[in-house]
Amino acid sequence: MAGATAVALAGLVAGCGARAAPDQPGAASVVRVVDGDTVEVVVAGQHETVRLLGIDTPETLAPGRPVECFGPEATAFLQELLPEGTAVELARDTEARDRFGRLLAYVTRADDQLFVNAAVAAGGYADVLVLAPNTARAGELVAAVADAKARGAGRWSACPAGP
C-alpha cells in the first residue's frame, strides 16, 4: 500500500512540475493584499500570488492605465478582511493558475469561514468575472453582485456607468 501511495504521489509531482504542492488547495497565511482581487500568501511553505476567482475589482496597479473608480476602496476593503497573517483556506476550481502564473482560488477566512470572494462582491467592490472552466461557485458570485447592484452598494452608486 505504501508503495502505491508513493508511486501515485511521484506521478502527481512529476505531472505538475516544481509547483505541484502550491497548486493544491489548502491552508495559507496572508502576506499582503496587492489590490482588491489579488493577495500574496504563504502556502505549502512557498510565497504565492493568489487571484480571487469569479470577481473583478477596479484596477489600481495596471501599467499605463489610470486608477479606476472605487479601486482604492476595493483594495482597502480586502485589506480589512485579510490583514497580514490572516489564516485562509484556498480552494481551486478547474484551472490552478492564470496566464500570469498566479494561483486561482476561492478564499475562505479560516477563523469564521467567511467566503472572501463573495464578501468583496456583496460589498459592491467587484463585478462578476466568471471564466470557464472555473465556474464552480459562479452562481453564488453572480447573486452577490446582483444584490450589491440592486442595493447601490459601493461602486454601483459611487461610480459613473461605464461603456
The residues annotated as belonging to the active site are 51, 59, 102
Write the Ramachandran bin of 85: left for phi over 0, alpha for psi from -120 to 50, otherwise beta: left
Residue 7: HSE in the Cβ half-sphere, 13 Å Cα cutoff: 4
Which residue do the cell numbers 482588491 mark?
36
Which residue do the cell numbers 496597479 mark?
61
Using CB atoms within 10 Å of the CB of residue 28, give its burial: 0 to 12 exposed, 13 to 18 middle, 19+ buried.
buried
Distance CA 66, CA 46 (A): 32
Which residue do the cell numbers 467566503 mark?
115
Distance CA 126, CA 155 (A): 8
